[in-house]
Amino acid sequence: MAKAAKTAIKKDPKQAAEAKNYTKVIKAVRSPKSGAYTFKEGMVHKDKVKDFLANIK
């Protein structure tokens, strides 16, 4: 299925340009109960990265 998605992006330059504006963000969050770390992740527009990191607790 990944090949189909790559092919679709290559065919439409507008979609390819928009896809480059997104970033995968990963933040380690410590559990107050056990003390272990969990990871929160998401695909975020590059202009909204700071907002995403600020809202994760």
Q: pLDDT higher for 18 or 46? A: 46
* Angstrom distances, CA of residue 18 to CA of 5, 35, 46, 47, 53: 14, 39, 11, 13, 22
Q: Given a cut of 90, is residue 16 above it in pLDDT?
A: no
Domain assignment present for 4: no
Domain assignment present for 27: yes
Residue 10 CA neighbour count, 13 Å, CB half: 6
Q: Given a cut of 60, is residue 51 above it in pLDDT?
A: yes
Number of domains, the chain: 1
Phi, psi (degrees; rounded to nearest 5) at 32: -70, -25
Domain assignment present for 48: yes
Domain span at 36: 20-57
- The residues that bridge with 39 in the sheet, in sequence order, are 28
* Angstrom distances, CA of residue 42 to CA of 14, 26, 39, 56: 22, 7, 10, 11
Domain assignment present for 46: yes
pTM over the 0.85 mark: no
